[in-house]
Amino acid sequence: MLIQNAGNAGSPTAGSVRAPVILLVEDSVADVRLMQEVLRETGLPHELMIAGDGERALRAIRGEGEYAGCKSPDLVLLDLNLPGMDGREVLRTIKGDPALRRTPVLVLSTSTAESDIAASYDAHANCYLSKPVDLGDFFRLAEALRDFWLRLVVLPPRRSPGDDK
């Protein structure tokens, strides 16, 4: 499943306002499922795109390969440790590409190593979130994400399909 519609289907968000598209870059299937559940619990309509590794993440954000024709994400939730190209490199690639760098990237990692946190901000991550262990904390994180990034923050204008190249 590449794309999942969530939230209140048929709500008045359809029409002029499109539900935000979140790209979740995460290799653990269980963590993906948990994130789906907690995001759904927030009650905010959204679309979740999923990429299990770094290469897929870049194809997803560029709308290439299996993601051709998909909407470009409004927000990226990025795990740092991924098989193959890891999250640190994905972050550098996105932030080094003029066509992609305006998309907010939220690093979501279990690592509390200062070097990881510093390197993420140095590579222009929009924020660094510590991945919670407890389900309650996970819910709070999803609600904070909804309240801040999807409600309070004015996200960058969407790119039209032809903008990428």
Partner 1 sequence: MSLNFLPGLSSGLLPHGVCFQLRPDLIWLHVASDTVIAIAYLMIPAALLWFITRRPAPLSFGWAIALFAAFIVLCGISHILDIVTIWQPIYYLQGIEKGLTAAVSLATAVAIIPLVPRLLSMRSPEELAEANQRLLEEIASRELAEEELRRSLTDLNRAVKELEQFAYITSHDLQAPLRTISGFSQLLSLRHRDQLQGDAVEFLDYIDKGARQMQLLIKDLLSLSRVGRADAASITRRPLADTITEALKSLKAEIDRSSADIAFGALPEIEANHGLLVQLLQNLIGNAIKFQRPDTRPSIRISIERDGDHWLLSVADNGIGIPADQLDNVFAIFRRLHGAETYEGTGIGLAICRKIAAYHGGDITATSDDSGTQFHLRLPVTIAEQRLLPAEQHEPVPA
Binding residues (CB under 8 A) for partner 1: these are 28, 30-31, 34, 37, 79-81, 87-88, 108-116, 131-136, 138
Nearer to partner 1, 99 or 106 (CB): 106
Nearer to partner 1, 5 or 28 (CB): 28
Shortest approach of partner 1 to residue 111 CB, angstroms?
Answer: 4
Nearer to partner 1, 3 or 117 (CB): 117
Shortest approach of partner 1 to residue 54 CB, angstroms?
Answer: 13
Q: Is 48 in contact with 36 (CB distance < 8 Å)?
A: yes
Q: Is 123 in contact with 88 (CB distance < 8 Å)?
A: yes
Nearer to partner 1, 13 or 130 (CB): 130
Shortest approach of partner 1 to residue 30 CB, angstroms?
Answer: 4
Shortest approach of partner 1 to residue 40 CB, angstroms?
Answer: 11
How do strand 75-78 and strand 46-51 relate by DSSP bridges?
unpaired
Nearer to partner 1, 63 or 132 (CB): 132
> Sign of the CA dihedral 140, 34, 88, 68?
negative
Closest CA to 107 of 135, 140, 131: 131
Please list the alpha-helical segments (H only) found in the chain: 29-41, 54-62, 87-96, 114-122, 135-145
Shortest approach of partner 1 to residue 81 CB, angstroms?
Answer: 4
Phi, psi of 70 (to 5 degrees): -75, 160
Residues 150, 156, 159: CA angle, nearest 5 degrees? 115
